[in-house]
Amino acid sequence: MLSKRVIACLDVRDGRLAKSVKFVNTKDIGDPVEKARLYYEQGLDELVFYDITASSDKRNIMLDVVESVAKEVFIPLSVGGGIRSVQDATNLRLAGAEKINVNSAAVLRPELISECASAIGNQNVVLSMDIQKVEQSEERPSGYEIVINGGRTPTGLDALQWALEGEQLGAGELVVNSIDADGTLDGYEINLTRMLSEAVRIPVIASGGAGKPQHLQEVLTEGKADAALVASMVHYGTYTVEELKKYLHENGVKVRMSW
């Protein structure tokens, strides 16, 4: 039986690890390569790097980070942030990324998803969606809206419609990131995650809000997510990846327990 995955997300700015609360007030919390190695040794199933570097002239720093990590971490490595073209995707793949996450640029130009899918394979293209709860309306029947530019710009796009369109265009996986839950440590947005997971036939990664091991269990069962993304709760040492997996295992969630 397929295991549920625990994925750690590392936000990287100018080559250093950063963590934001509700997408603002980022602060430096360490070396991404060191953290990646630590989580790998603790049994992490997959790693996501999100490049939040503001200036484009510092973008190559990310390639170095990916390259260093790929030399010693032998689990799938996914990279997102600022990917606007097949060339960006290919450069990151050569540096050692397995999967590519597209987000804002795909909302502005949806063909980016199909272009990347035909260049590197559907299974390697992850559509990452930042989503906020809104009033249900004719334009946004799901009651959730897509937000871009690191959570700053509402698009008016309905989250469910965008997820389905993304799948249609060739995305191999979805990251469902709740802006409302992000950084709160109060738990994932279960309803949103379940709604999207039931609507698509590609894996769904739940993101935003994890603070306790129980939150992962909830989103992987009730929320029907295939994977749970964690950040703060492991970055600050509140929990180790191993503790999270042990909790899930003991509470009936199938996870990989030997590494």
Partner 1 sequence: MNFSNDRTVIIDYDAGNLRSVQRACAEVGCDALITGDPEVIQHSTRIIFPGVGAAGAAMRSIQAHGIDEVLLDRYEQGVPILGICMGLQISLTHSEEDDQETIGLIEGQVKRFQIKDLSLKVPHMGWNEVTVVRPHPVLAHIHPGDEFYFVHAYYPHPKDESCVYGIATYETPFCCAVGRKNFFGTQFHPEKSGRIGLQLLASFFKWDGSIAE
Q: Which residues are catalytic?
A: 11, 130
Binding mask 23-62 for partner 1 (x = CB under 8 A): -----------------x----x-----------------
Indicate whether 252 belongs to the interface with partner 1 (CB under 8 A): no
Is residue 162 packed enough to be buried (19+ CB in 10 Å), middle (13-18) or exposed (0-12)?
buried
Contact 256, 245 (CB under 8 A): yes
Which of these ranges, 16-24, 118-126, 158-166, 207-215, lies near partner 1 under the rule CB under 8 A? 118-126
Three-class SS state of 41: helix
Site for partner 1 (CB under 8 A): which residue of 37, 224, 246, 249?
224
Nearer to partner 1, 29 or 253 (CB): 253
Which of these ranges, 11-19, 64-72, 106-114, 136-144, lies near partner 1 under the rule CB under 8 A? 64-72
- How many CA within 13 A on the CB side of residue 161? 15
DSSP 124: G
Pick from 141, 169, 140: which is nearest to 157 by CA?
Answer: 140
Which of these ranges, 10-18, 104-112, 117-125, 136-144, lies near partner 1 under the rule CB under 8 A? 117-125
Phi then psi dihedrals of residue 147, to 5 deg: -120, 140
Shortest spacing between CB 17 and partner 1, in angstroms: 22
